[in-house]
Amino acid sequence: MSSQLLTGLPVAKNLRADTARNIKALSGTGVVPKLAVVLATDNESTAWYVRSIVRQAAESAVHCDVVDLGPQASGWQLQEALQALAEDRAVHGIILQTPLPAGVDAAALAALIPPHKDIDGANPESLGRLAAGLPAYAATTAQAAIEVLEHYQVPLAGEHVTVIGRSMVVGKPLAQLLLARDATVTTCHSRTKALASHTKASSVVVVAAGKAGLLTGAELHEGSVVVDVGTNVDEAGRLIGDVHTESVLPVARALSPVPGGVGTVTTSLLMLRTSQAALDTLVASGQPV
């Protein structure tokens, strides 16, 4: 069997077209969508990700402020920065980048991002609303995995989908998004026994563990669809996913690659959400659009 590659670029292009439509709708209103990225780390992969957000923002005509408090920032400094952004009416979206300095209460800080500006779904309230079926932003990476599955018309309703990983940024929100699409969802994690018994029984497997080579073809049902969310760096310094590509390709019907899969969609989704949040704010203020 030859696998279809579920590449992210066509998905990202559609999202960018939607963002362009929002920007056009905002022209002449005096409102420019603005995203603020708060960080307090010198982590290299965070710096790489923030640069890609800044680049995508420039391409999308979204203003982007990077509030870099440095790796020594205190919880108090982060709190002050987030409170100021929460009150700033010119800011439509706020991202709090991880990792945060040791000893800082990440959940308490994320809770300072008002749900309507929480475009990365970091506030625990956003995940709660999602679980309750109320409007909320899901963590961007989780939503990006859904965007890829939906773009390639992978059936979800009634299907058994296994998600490997239970973090706040991928596994938990993704399970909610899949349930909302009527999938039968199994969430696996580092303490799951007999992982293959779950993956082999699934028509779709999403892996987000951060463990290179974790998912091999031997753990899959013939003809299943695999979405690889993992990002790892191999000995040669190359970006690789959680999927053991050589053994998965002959078994899976389709596979999202790393790089070039889910990660490609994420920054475009952030721009779409920021532009949509700006439009929503304008509509809520009663100003004609």
Helix (H, G, I), strand (E, B) or coil at 159: coil
At position 26, the amino acid (one-letter code) is L
Look up tokens 């100003």; give the residue.
Answer: 287
Q: Any contact of residue 188 with ligand NAD (CB under 6 A)?
A: yes
User: CA 225, CA 116: separation in Å to the nearest integer?
Assistant: 33
Question: Footprint of ligand NAD on residues 117-146 (CB under 6 A)?
Answer: 141
User: CA 211, CA 216: separation in Å to the nearest integer?
Assistant: 12
The region of 105-113, 121-129, 146-154, 186-194 touching ligand NAD under the rule CB under 6 A is: 186-194
Q: 23 vs 258, which CB is nearer to ligand NAD?
A: 258
Is residue 242 within 8 Å of residue 214, measured between CB atoms? yes
Q: Any contact of residue 165 with ligand NAD (CB under 6 A)?
A: yes
In whole angstroms, how far apart are CA 229 and each of 106, 174, 175, 264?
A: 22, 11, 14, 11
Phi, psi of 81 (to 5 degrees): -65, -45
Among 57, 96, 208, 277, contact with ligand NAD (rule: CB under 6 A): 208
Among 93, 121, 173, 230, contact with ligand NAD (rule: CB under 6 A): 230
Question: Footprint of ligand NAD on residues 59-88 (CB under 6 A)?
Answer: none
Minimal distance in Å, beta carbon 269 to ligand NAD?
Answer: 10
Q: 248 vs 282, which CB is nearer to ligand NAD?
A: 248
> Which has the closest alpha carbon to 58: 82, 27, 32, 26?
32
User: CA 263, CA 256: separation in Å to the nearest integer?
Assistant: 10
Q: Any contact of residue 93 with ligand NAD (CB under 6 A)?
A: no
Q: Any contact of residue 268 with ligand NAD (CB under 6 A)?
A: no
C-beta neighbour count of 24 within 10 angstroms: 11
Q: Any contact of residue 260 with ligand NAD (CB under 6 A)?
A: no
Q: Any contact of residue 169 with ligand NAD (CB under 6 A)?
A: yes
Instruction: Give the binding site for ligand NAD (CB under 6 A).
Output: 141, 164-167, 169-171, 188-190, 192, 195, 208-211, 214, 229-232, 262-263, 266
